[in-house]
Amino acid sequence: MNKTAATIFLLIILAVGNVFSNPPVPPKSVKSEKATGEKIKSLENTKVSTSAPSVDEHKIRKKASKASAGSENITVTGKIKRSKPAAADTLEVKGRKLREKPSATFVEALASESADIHVTSRGTGIHGVASGSTGGIYIRGLGGFPNSQILMVEDGVPDYQGIFGHPIPDAYSSHLIDSVTVIKGGDSVLYGTNAMGGVIVIKSRWLKVPGLEVIADVQSGTFETIGYNLSGLLRRGPWNFAVFASQLETQGHRPGSGGSRLILGFAARRCLGDNTELMLRTKAVHIDGADPGPVTHPTPDKWFDVWRFSGSFGPVFHFRKGTIQLVSWINTGIHKLYDGFHSVDTLAGITGKIEYNINSKLLFTTGATGEFVDGFVENLIDGEKTYPPSAFTPSVFGQLELKPLKKLELTTGARFLLDTTEGPVFLYKAAAGYRLNRNFRLRGGITRNFRQPTIRELYLPWPVANPDLKPEFSLNSSAGIHFESAHVDSHITVFRTTARNLIRYFGSWPTAEVVNIDSYKVDGIEGALKLKNLGPFSPFIMASVQDVGRYTKQNPDEKLIFGVDFKLPLKSMTVLSTLSGQFVRGLYMNNYSRDPMDDVFFLDFTLRLRLKERAGYRIEPYLNVRNITDNRYAWVLNYTMPGINILAGLKMELK
């Protein structure tokens, strides 16, 4: 702790000294916008990233279209592209790329984008909840079932189940997503509890220019799988609307592995005057299915039924040097299981955040958050209800991003919060990035993150609870070298994930106990090499090797992702295709290297024919073939994945 504090102190002294030795100059982004002599009211492109913002120079790339706001006509003069912050340890994936992957679910698609992200699965589209569920996300060794050490943030709002403290992996559909940023190593400074191993920041789609866009995607495939996805985006005057519906139904490859998922959403954004926006988002999710059980002992009658509703609302004020944002949210769910379990949980909160460009080399972010968790559980068979205490957590946070030297970028930040069991909690982070030249970039960072005990761990005796539990803490560090050029995109990162105060269950009923006791350390190395713009073929390879110590439960030692993208523009269409595969070694069903599992190997193939746009619409038939070598493999022991299976679809885009 002392060493860490000394590091932070040293970093801040070095950095601040360099920043204030340079005279402040107006931010380049503002200069660029002013260059046309007109106000910029399309604020989307100038908004500072919340995940890992940068004060790096912006580049005006091209002229965009005309936009209107309120009664005035305005002109967007340039598309401002911010280069990736040199200090960031993030993976950024476009929603379109995730949609075009053959993976059955959103979290599986994400896991095929980086070798240090591992996700379990059991079939073709439904992960489920409770026993037998999959969709556990591991990032650099932390996380996994039930995912409470990984935080999902959807449009600025944390998303997790109030009682069990984890996200529901089936509650997301790639069809609705604009982009995803995975913050590896977590970031509790900006995002609070659960951001221990990583944060998955999801940004939903808006129409960026005035007009209408309707996309319908219909798919059908093996195991009586049918999917419908419909999204409509409208931007007119000061209004910006987004509606979406996504439904998937499948019988699954064996009894109990099927189910259905329905996601409905509505969002609206309105400009109020020159500098203010109001945003509203709502979402409803319904998932039903079952735990199919191990193939040796199927249990297709162990059904579940989950409804979740979420909404967020708040204004954003833009001023010359930054933004002020206020977001309030509520997320509630109703879970029912075959054994009479019934729960209602609520997560609600409010965040106020200010981002302020002090000068071109210094961006300051600060804010305050209050988060409330509540819920009750009921046994529908005997009618017994349990009302555990609710929890409220207030916190304040701040972050400085500075550029003391031309090629050096630093980020540091801290959050103070008041935990109901621990009392005051201090979290911090620091990162540095250095651009050696046009191609090479060095970066490193350290974060101290935490996870509050869940209501279940504190108060619900399944099999035991402990109201004296305190938060878990992690200290994650990483350093890497990145190379980017016109034809090559590659990096190597070494990482260390440590955690202490882990909440662990020991023993069995009636003498079980749950206590904060254990510590954890993972050392690993992860890298990627992607070739691009070399003709129709773009091969890629990603690998990760980690030593997870005794924490081997579904936490693999080695993962390799490989493949080749193919893109061929023709006269009437563009042919897009990807052949990709994964090889995963060192899988165990339990800690201490117990119950070893077979290595996983599979190949997927996808083909899309993107037809030229005609009269404002475009058609794109596609075909996904999963597990083309028909391998018998499993992520969870005896939850055998399907053999070769096919999904064909047709995407229709109207603009």
Partner 1 sequence: MKQALFLLVILAVSACEDVYPEVVIVNKTRHDVLIKDISYNGCIWSGVLAYGEATAPQKCLPGSDRVHFKKFTATTYEEYDEDALEPLTPTWFNYMTTRSYDASTLDFYLIEIDLEGLEQDFSAPGPYGH
Partner 2 sequence: MKIKSILLFTVIMSSFLFAGCDEDDKSEAKALVSIKNDFNNPEMTYQPPWTICKSSYLGQEFGKISIGETSPEFEVTPGLDYVLMVAAWEDPDCNPENCLPIATKLEEEVVDGQQRVIAINMPNHQGSCPPEGVAPIPEEAYNRILALWPEYDFEPYETRTENIECLPDEE
Cβ atoms of residues 77 and 63 within 8 Å:
yes
| Of the candidate residues 215, 400, 430, 637, the single one contacting partner 2 (CB under 8 A) | 430
Contact string (CB under 8 A) for partner 2, positions 259-298, x = contact: ----------------------------------------
418 binds partner 2 (CB under 8 A): no
Q: Is 445 in contact with 428 (CB distance < 8 Å)? A: no
Give yes or no for a contact between 422 and 74, defined as CB atoms under 8 angstroms apart.
no
438 contacts partner 2 (rule: CB under 8 A): no
Q: Which residue in 525, 589, 648, 654 binds partner 1 (CB under 8 A)?
A: 648
3-state SS of 382-414 is CCCEECCCCEEEEEEEEEEEEEEECCEEEEEEE
What's the min distance (Å) between Cβ of 353 and partner 2?
Answer: 26
Q: 319-378: which residues touch partner 1 (CB under 8 A)?
A: 337, 339, 341
DSSP 32-84: HHHTTSS-----TTTSPPSSS---PPEEE-----EEEETTEEEE----EEEPP
Q: Is 652 in the site for partner 1 (CB under 8 A)?
A: no
Return the bridge partners of 214, or none. Answer: 232, 654
Which amino acid type is present at position 340?
A: G
Q: Which is nearer to partner 2, 79 or 84 (CB)?
A: 84
Give the x-and-dash track for 467-506 against partner 2 (CB under 8 A): --------xxx-x----------------x-xxx---x-x
Q: Choose which of 322, 647, 651, 653 interacts with partner 1 (CB under 8 A).
A: 647
For position 255 contacting partner 1 by CB under 8 A, the verdict is: yes
Nearest one of 181, 51, 46, 57 to 435, comparing CA atoms = 57
**Does 507 interact with partner 2 (rule: CB under 8 A)?**
yes
- Token duo for residue 390: 């609710």
**β pairing state of 385-386 and 391-405:** unpaired
For strand 72-75 and strand 66-69, is the pairing parallel, antiparallel, or unpaired? antiparallel
Residues 509 to 528: which contact partner 2 by CB under 8 A? 509-511, 513, 515, 517-519, 521
Dist. CA 577–CA 298, nearest whole Å: 37
Q: In what order do the strands lie in the sheet with 90-94?
A: 90-94, 177-184, 198-204, 150-154, 157-159
- CB nearer partner 1, residue 339 or residue 599: 339
632 touches which of partner 2, partner 1, none (CB within 5 to 8 A by kind)?
partner 1
> What's the farthest any 2 CA atoms get from each other in the chain?
74
Site size for partner 2 (CB under 8 A): 46
In angstroms, what is the minimal distance from the CB of 521 to partner 2? 6
Among 138, 164, 428, 473, binds partner 1 (CB under 8 A): 164
State which of residues 235, 253, 269, 448 lies at the interface with partner 1 (CB under 8 A).
253
What is the smallest separation between the CB atom of 196 and partner 2, expressed in angstroms?
13
Using CB under 8 A as the binding rule, the residues of this chain from 125 to 144 that contact partner 1 are 130-131
456 binds, among partner 1, partner 2, none (CB under 5 to 8 A by kind): partner 1
Select the binding partner of residue 429 from partner 1, partner 2, none (C-beta < 5 to 8 A, by kind). Answer: none
Q: SS3 helix, strand, coil % of the chain, rounded to 5?
A: 10, 55, 35
414 binds, among partner 2, partner 1, none (CB under 5 to 8 A by kind): none
CB 628 within 8 A of CB 604: yes
Contact (Cβ atoms closer than 8 angstroms) between residue 399 and residue 415: no
The kind and range of the H/E element at 430 are: strand 423-435
Nearest Cα to Cα of residue 203 among 135, 143, 155, 271: 155
Of 578-617, binders to partner 1 (CB under 8 A) are 609, 611
| Separation of alpha carbons 323 and 29, rounded Å | 14
User: In the complex with partner 2, which residue's Cβ is closer, 31 or 550?
Assistant: 550
Does 11 help bind partner 2 (rule: CB under 8 A)?
A: yes
Among 70, 210, 232, 294, binds partner 1 (CB under 8 A): 294
Residue 462 binds partner 1, judged by CB under 8 A: yes
Name the residue with tokens 């220019």: 209
With CB under 8 A as the contact rule, which of the stretches 9-17, 123-131, 229-237, 275-283 interacts with partner 2? Answer: 9-17
For residue 466, give the DSSP letter. Answer: -
* 441 CB-contact burial (10 Å; exposed 0-12 / middle 13-18 / buried 19+): buried
Comparing CB distances to partner 2, the nearer of 3 and 438 is 3
- Binding residue for partner 2 (CB under 8 A) from 592, 596, 617, 630? 592
Q: Report how far residue 367's alpha carbon sits from residue 323's, in angstroms, rounded to the nearest whole number.
A: 12
| Order of strands across the sheet that contains 137-139 | 117-119, 137-139, 142-143
- Residue 560, contacted partner among partner 1, partner 2, none, CB below 5-8 A by kind: none
| Nearest to partner 1 of 14, 648 (CB atom) | 648
601: tokens are 């190997």
Our finding on whether 7 is near partner 2 (CB under 8 A) is yes
The answer to the question of residue 505 lying near partner 1 (CB under 8 A) is no
Q: Figure out which of the listed residues 212, 354, 405, 531 binds partner 2, where binding follows CB under 8 A.
A: 405
Q: How far is the CB of 295 from partner 2 (least distance, A)?
A: 21
The 3-state secondary structure of 322-333, one letter per residue: EEEEEEEEEEEE
Cβ atoms 152, 266 nearer than 8 A? no
Half-sphere exposure of 468 (CA within 13 A, CB side): 5
Strand partners, 620: 651
Among partner 2, partner 1, none, residue 442 binds (CB under 5-8 Å by kind)? partner 2
Residue ranges in contact with partner 1 by CB under 8 A: 130-131, 164, 220-224, 253-255, 291-300, 302, 337, 339, 341, 456, 462, 572-573, 609, 611, 621-623, 625, 632, 640, 642-648
Residue ranges in contact with partner 2 by CB under 8 A: 1, 3-4, 6-7, 10-11, 14, 18, 404-408, 410, 430, 432, 434, 442, 444-446, 475-477, 479, 496, 498-500, 504, 506-511, 513, 515, 517-519, 521, 550, 591-592
